[in-house]
A and B are shown apart, each in its own frame.
Chain A
Amino acid sequence: MTLQDKAAVVGVGSTPYYKRGRSLPQTPFELAGKAVLAAVEDAGLTIDDVDGLALYSMGLGGDTSLFAQVLGIPEVRFTATLTGGGGGAAGSVGLAAAAISSGMAECVVSLMTLQQAASRFGASYAPRGKPGAQYSAPPSPEGNFIQPAGLMGPGQMFAVLTQRHFHLYGTKREHLAEVAISTRENAIKRETSIMQNPLTLDDYFNARLIAEPLCLYDFCLECDGAVAVVTTTAERAKDLRHPPAYVRASAHGGNGRWGQAIVWMGMPDEEYASSGHRPVAKRMYEMAGLGPSDVDVALLYDHFSPMVLMQLEDYGFCGIGESGPFVESGAIRWPNGSLPVNTHGGNLSEAYIIGMTHVREAVEQIRGTAVNQVEGCEVALATGGPASIPVSGLLLTKETG
């Protein structure tokens, strides 16, 4: 038994996307509530229909008890958080589908809320202790083996993986630039995007280096905002406001020794210079009865541009080590590439709401209402991570299998 086609995403909602700190004086819970209400409304449902929450990333989306109390959810029948961090973005919808296909709940909200006014994810692994400083992870016995070297932020850590990819496969900064530039091209066509100016190759190479080989434009934005989606039974989805985006498959996890990944650097040699998504991709495709050639649009979690390259490999869109030449060929460009990627402008140029914008875009692509619509889009892939375990994938489809 799998969850294939038993549930569908029927509503999406969000707040505007803000640069870091600009969402004040709204509270994080207020942002979350606005996104949830918008998503429920978009589905043609009301809060009275909601009976579950499937969250991720340490419950950053918001606390179920507070939603229930303040929004007046009649009865909560399912509430769970996928462990880990941003790697659970796409998987939180899989968690919702699991709750629905098992009969535990019928109408489940997944969401992410971010307000980086007080804390900056860029320094997630920096030591605490400075007055006023707030970071997301205190030093741990394991972190002691990384952080004294000056590795304090995910961008620095992923730069180390990227350097290895360059070494093994001849990947170049031009390839990272193509990810950044193509994503920006998509973003500037959308008025919701934070970044509205085109990015040229000159801009890219003139940008300051942050952690080699990564420069400013290889990093995602720092944002505030909230995005929510509503998932319900395939049966009920048929009668709602929008065409259903069926959950054909979802998987999360990773090989055990991927582990804490960038926070320990001891991953097995064969998957060190990867996104950690290979086992997840395999299980997801098996569940779906689909393969990479069936995917019409790929919304790949892009906290850092090189991780798009590694996901292109791990999801089978090109061979291992071949993502550089693959993107160089124009393959990921919208609308003419063979596999448009991050048509919404991604974490790099639209907004960084820890991957939930990718799920939203997948739904809009399946509905046929995306701003940068892929013509005849039948199958959309959204991912969460690379990160520590879990990373996750989600395949949404226009038709059931």
Chain B
Amino acid sequence: MSTAYDADQVAKLPDERIISLTPDVWTQPFWDAAAHHRLVVPRCTACGTFRLPPSAFCWKCRAQEIEWVEHDGRGAVYSFTIVWHPLLPDVADSVPYVPAVVELPNTNACRLVGAMVDTRLSDMRIGLNVELVWRDVEGGVAVPTWRPAEGE
């Protein structure tokens, strides 16, 4: 049995009051770039392996040094959920929202998670091509969200 939606029902965004970033020295550059609406993914300079979230060691070769590689923010939905029940009062007015795990091409399958925008619920599917839309939130930071790519 599939769930039927009103054809026009569109995903909302979770209320920004839930967003609270606590970067460390390894993740800070990611968020600094995000604030300027740039997606950067750290790549190990020793073996070329990308890693997300940014972390102190390369899981493949244990080296530490990285370079930040610019990414165009296009990818495909690897999986997702449609959240109907607000876990906190803060998001009571922002359901349904749709967290999506998106695989980034050319990054040895790194995944980046963000909520969907401009998306009809009935269009959500694994494999959907998406593009990144930066969401500016309080405090001068931005977090990734996704919308269906043109042609989808």
- B19–A147 contact, CB under 8 A? yes
- B19–A209 contact, CB under 8 A? no
A325 to B115, CA, bound (A): 32
A139 to B78, CA, bound (A): 24
| Residue B67 is within 8 A (CB to CB) of chain A in the complex | no
Chain A residues close to B by CB (< 8 Å): 122-123, 126-130, 138-153, 156, 159-161, 163-164, 167, 172-174, 205, 208-214, 256-257, 264-266, 269, 272
Distance between B140 CB and nearest chain A CB, rounded to angstroms: 15
A161 to B14, CA, bound (A): 20
A140 to B79, CA, bound (A): 23
Scoring A151, A208, A256 by chain B CB atoms within 10 A of each residue's CB, the highest score goes to A151
- B79–A161 contact, CB under 8 A? yes
- A139–B22 contact, CB under 8 A? yes
A209 to B99, CA, bound (A): 15
| Residue B57 is within 8 A (CB to CB) of chain A in the complex | no
- Inside 8 A of B88's CB, which chain A residues have their CB? 123, 126, 130, 152
Distance between A338 CB and nearest chain B CB, rounded to angstroms: 26
- A209–B90 contact, CB under 8 A? no
User: Knowing that A161-B79, A208-B85 are A-B contacts, what are 6 other residue pairs whose CB atoms are under 8 Å apart, sorted by A's residue number?
Assistant: A149-B115, A150-B94, A160-B81, A164-B126, A211-B84, A212-B82
- A130–B90 contact, CB under 8 A? yes
**A145-B53, A147-B19 given; A123·B90 CB < 8 A:** no
- Inside 8 A of B137's CB, which chain A residues have their CB? 148
- A164–B78 contact, CB under 8 A? yes
- B113–A205 contact, CB under 8 A? no
CB < 8 Å: which of A128, A174, A256 contacts B1?
A174
- B126–A148 contact, CB under 8 A? no
- Inside 8 A of A147's CB, which chain B residues have their CB? 18-20
- B20–A127 contact, CB under 8 A? yes
**A163-B81, A205-B1 given; A149·B22 CB < 8 A:** no
**Tally of A-B residue pairs with Cβ under 8 A?**
132
| Residue B40 is within 8 A (CB to CB) of chain A in the complex | no
Scoring B88, B97, B112 by chain A CB atoms within 10 A of each residue's CB, the highest score goes to B88
- B82–A141 contact, CB under 8 A? no
Distance between A323 CB and nearest chain B CB, rounded to angstroms: 17
- A160–B80 contact, CB under 8 A? yes
- Inside 8 A of B138's CB, which chain A residues have their CB? none
* 27 contacting pairs across A/B (C-beta < 8 A): A126-B88, A128-B20, A129-B20, A130-B88, A138-B22, A139-B21, A140-B22, A141-B27, A141-B53, A147-B18, A149-B143, A149-B145, A150-B14, A150-B18, A150-B97, A150-B99, A153-B87, A156-B83, A156-B99, A160-B81, A161-B79, A164-B78, A167-B126, A212-B3, A212-B82, A257-B59, A266-B110
- Inside 8 A of A173's CB, which chain B residues have their CB? 1
- Inside 8 A of A149's CB, which chain B residues have their CB? 14, 99-100, 113-115, 143, 145
- Inside 8 A of A257's CB, which chain B residues have their CB? 59
- A163–B79 contact, CB under 8 A? yes
- Inside 8 A of A146's CB, which chain B residues have their CB? 113
- B82–A211 contact, CB under 8 A? yes
A213 to B121, CA, bound (A): 13
Q: Mark B5-46, 1 if CB is under 8 A from A, else 0.
A: 000000000100011111110110001000000000000000
A128 to B18, CA, bound (A): 9
- Inside 8 A of A129's CB, which chain B residues have their CB? 20
